Amino acid sequence: MSPVSPSLSHRLDGLRSSAIRDLLTLTERPEVIGLAGGLPDEQLMPRDRIARAAEAALADRSRLQYTQSAGWGPLREVLAARESARLGRAVPIAEVFVTHGSQQALSLLGEVLLDPGALVVVEDPAYVGALQVFRAAGARIASVPLDAEGMRVDLLAELLERGERPAVVHTVSNFHNPRGVTMSARRRAELAGLADRYGFWVIEDDPYGELWFDRPAAEPVATYSPNVIRLSSASKILAPSLRAGWMVAPDRVCRAVELLKQGADLCGSALTQQITADLLADTDWLAAHVNTVRSNYGERAKALVGALRERFGNRIVSTDATGGMFVWASFTDDTDTARSLSRAVEHGVAYVPGSAFAVDSDYRSAMRLCFTTFDAPTLREAVDRLARTFGEERDG
Amino acid sequence: MSPVSPSLSHRLDGLRSSAIRDLLTLTERPEVIGLAGGLPDEQLMPRDRIARAAEAALADRSRLQYTQSAGWGPLREVLAARESARLGRAVPIAEVFVTHGSQQALSLLGEVLLDPGALVVVEDPAYVGALQVFRAAGARIASVPLDAEGMRVDLLAELLERGERPAVVHTVSNFHNPRGVTMSARRRAELAGLADRYGFWVIEDDPYGELWFDRPAAEPVATYSPNVIRLSSASKILAPSLRAGWMVAPDRVCRAVELLKQGADLCGSALTQQITADLLADTDWLAAHVNTVRSNYGERAKALVGALRERFGNRIVSTDATGGMFVWASFTDDTDTARSLSRAVEHGVAYVPGSAFAVDSDYRSAMRLCFTTFDAPTLREAVDRLARTFGEERDG
């Protein structure tokens, strides 16, 4: 039988299936409380509203046809209005590009912006979907750690002063996956300033920005510089199966992405794009819907963090969970979360070890916990199981 | 402003927006009978059946969630059954992979099977979406012409005997786009034999196979060799906005494509994939529906070919249009179809000049005509306008 391309195994090494994805299979057993996943809660997805929108969309047969590679026009218009409000400037349609989830935007941007060997700076720990794209593009990866205020922009500045010249700096600016933190306004301005000064692209990857619990996140990094390409998505606020992500980027970047999109998959679905446009344009309904998601997730996050602090005391430092979908919890001793995972599954709970997201650090004592799909009592039970796993046998 | 990747303009040259796509914009004026498009007829798409399937799909909230990268399980099962019947062997689920239209299968296969500089043999004229993918992958392109029996496999054999060693041979085996012809059974067996002997992959790209007018096409090339990767799609028989393509390939190829799909866009839409599965599994309904499409397209094709022969006599040689969506018409004199196009548009008709599909030949006297979206009288009027364009001023 004929061979697969000679360099394929090499390239696949760089694209090894994410540890998280493999874990999801492991932890699908119903007796396990799976905090390892990264899925939004389907019980909170607006099923009936989507069904109404689907029926409306199908009233027009042209929704069954091929659509434009850059996205169905009316969806781009809704997104342009939405992003204009978010960015505080009139975003023209030409700068809005609809992708098959924001992962596709990352993937096409990887092709458009990166030559093999180009330097990409990511946050450490990193969103693994971005790492996968940058590795596949043959980029050289450097990392900058995060703290409670998000990316350590001072360390990025040092890296630039040492003469490193990234083509792209990637940040999950709001409610970071996996680290849970949000970049402060001061650092957003500083990061944009560095992009202007050194001439690199910032990819501001923002799927979670709407999911704030107490107060909205700061203005996007994209408000501070034209060198910022902003990605967002309907997956976390509406439903992943709409496969609606989008990008706000300068016209010439959008046109380059458009040519690649034609080769990649011709176009998206006018049907799911009209459904998305319908829901995003129904602003009063949307505000109420997103509020419901926020308050549910906020309550769950607080239950999880509260139980962690109560059970583990000073042995764990956890993020405050002010938004998004994840809590990052780090043992302050030398607990190895990867080694303990199978024991955790035996105790009926699962998480993702910090090492799965590590770039230059190891994060061996950290774990990512997703709180989106369980109610508060179940999350407290999950923490009880974590306590048994990690030898915190105090009675509850 | 920071630069786009230095090699981007070079790569975009290889990916220049297809001439066909640019023409579509030009010919969207309502007074023009646009035979240049390549769209299935949305009036024949099963809108009501899709609406019922959408409603049924949305009864289960899990259809709103992320799904598997290889495709929603029940759709893969339906496809495995369908392809087992088509290929005359039990196709296991592991060898069925769902893509975002079959264009995505081509694109991911380009990455999986081709190293830069690898040789790809295409048909001449070629499906431009495939050319775009192979050029983007940095492949070296060679071509083999088509005749009334499809790919000139004898010329492929000569090329192999000269020592050329393709990694991939691409064929649109049924009702070729743009050439209209179908590969004969004898040549299918010969092509498969060459693949086995020389160890190359055949990509059998088959979006039109179901759209036969008089009798079904021969057994797929994939029935003759395990070295054939078979692509098909629901776009031409159901609706493009379902974005449902699929691939039947050996397990190791599917697993390599799966890793790339995770980076490319994570997964498809469980919603549109369930709709697709529902319709494909409803075999009695599907048979009747596809029959309706066939008989409509068949009638239109015959009207177009009949009018061409009546109006142009021996000045044009055209395919018989035994299936698919396209007629390929070649002037037997030195008419230059690209030069005449703007005049044709002035006369209210549009086509795609043969040169848009040319690889090594020029096809300057040929044109591709799509008959799918017009009734017989409109197609006869279109041919009258072509006759005026090309100086065949005989009264009808």
pLDDT score, position B187? 98
B175 and B217 share a domain? yes
* Strand residues in A56-118 grouped as ranges (E): 96-100
DSSP A323: B
pLDDT score, position B37? 87
In a domain, A128, yes or no: yes
pLDDT score, position B15? 44
A206 and A327 share a domain? no
Q: Is A348 left (phi over 0), alpha (psi -120 to 50) or beta?
A: left
Neighbours of A28 (CB within 10 A): 12
Residue where one domain finishes, among candidates B266, B282, B298: B282
Distance from B200 to chain A by nearest Cα, in Å?
5
B132 and B278 share a domain? yes
pLDDT in tens, A113-156: 999 999 999 999 999 999 999 999 999 999 999 999 999 999 99
Residue partners of A130: CB distance under 8 A and separation at least 6: A106, A122, A170, A203, A205
Residue where one domain finishes, among candidates A235, A262, A281: A281
Token duo for residue B167: 């990694």
Q: Which chain B residues are Cβ-neighbours of A1 within 8 angstroms? A: 199, 226-227, 250
In a domain, B101, yes or no: yes
A328 and A260 share a domain? no
Q: Strand pairing of B119-124 and B140-147? A: parallel
pLDDT score, position A321? 86
Per-residue pLDDT of chain A (396 residues; tens, 9 = 90+): 444 554 555 444 444 445 555 655 666 678 999 999 899 999 999 999 999 999 999 999 999 999 999 999 999 999 999 999 999 999 999 999 999 999 999 999 999 999 999 999 999 999 999 999 999 999 999 999 999 999 999 999 999 999 999 999 999 999 999 999 999 999 999 999 999 999 999 999 999 999 999 999 899 999 999 999 999 999 999 999 999 999 999 999 999 999 999 999 999 999 999 999 999 999 999 999 999 999 999 999 999 999 999 999 999 999 998 999 999 999 999 999 999 999 999 999 999 999 999 999 999 999 999 999 999 999 999 999 999 999 975 443
- CB spacing of A240 vs B15 below 8 angstroms: no
A258 and A124 share a domain? yes
pLDDT score, position A13? 47
In a domain, B2, yes or no: no
pLDDT score, position A19? 55
Token duo for residue B345: 């548009």
Token duo for residue A376: 């508060």
Distance from B97 to chain A by nearest Cα, in Å?
15
Count structural domains, chain A: 2
Closest residue in A to B271 (Cα–Cα): A241
- CB spacing of A243 vs B256 below 8 angstroms: no
Residue A372 domain boundaries: 8-45+287-389
pLDDT score, position A368? 97
- Amino acid symbol at A286: L
Distance from A151 to chain B by nearest Cα, in Å?
21
In a domain, B109, yes or no: yes
Q: What is the CATH number of the domain that holds B310?
A: 3.90.1150.10
In a domain, A214, yes or no: yes
- CB spacing of B195 vs A2 below 8 angstroms: yes
How confident is chain B (396 residues) per 10-residue block, as mean pLDDT? 49 49 65 93 98 97 96 98 97 98 98 95 97 95 97 98 98 98 98 98 98 95 98 98 98 96 96 98 98 98 98 96 96 95 93 95 97 98 97 58
Which residue's entry shows tokens 């399980």? B73
In a domain, A307, yes or no: yes
Name the residue facing A64 among B8, B42, B226 (closest C-beta).
Answer: B42
- CB spacing of A262 vs B17 below 8 angstroms: yes
Note whether B352 and B367 are within 8 A (CB).
yes
B256 and B319 share a domain? no
A23 and A76 share a domain? no
Q: Which chain B residues are Cβ-neighbours of A239 within 8 angstroms? A: 64-65, 271
Name the residue facing A64 among B16, B45, B201 (closest C-beta).
Answer: B45
pLDDT score, position B1? 40
So what's the ipTM on this one? 0.93
In a domain, A56, yes or no: no
B215 and B94 share a domain? yes
A254 and A298 share a domain? no
In a domain, B84, yes or no: yes
Note whether A229 and A247 are within 8 A (CB).
yes
B276 and B293 share a domain? no
The b-or-e profile of A89-123 (16+ CB within 10 A means b, else e) is: eebebebbbbbbbbbbbbbbbbbbbbeeebbbbbb
pLDDT score, position A165? 98
Which residue's entry shows tokens 């929108």? A53
Q: What is the CATH number of the domain that holds A263?
A: 3.40.640.10
Residue where one domain finishes, among candidates B282, B304, B338: B282
A73 and A166 share a domain? yes
A178 and A247 share a domain? yes
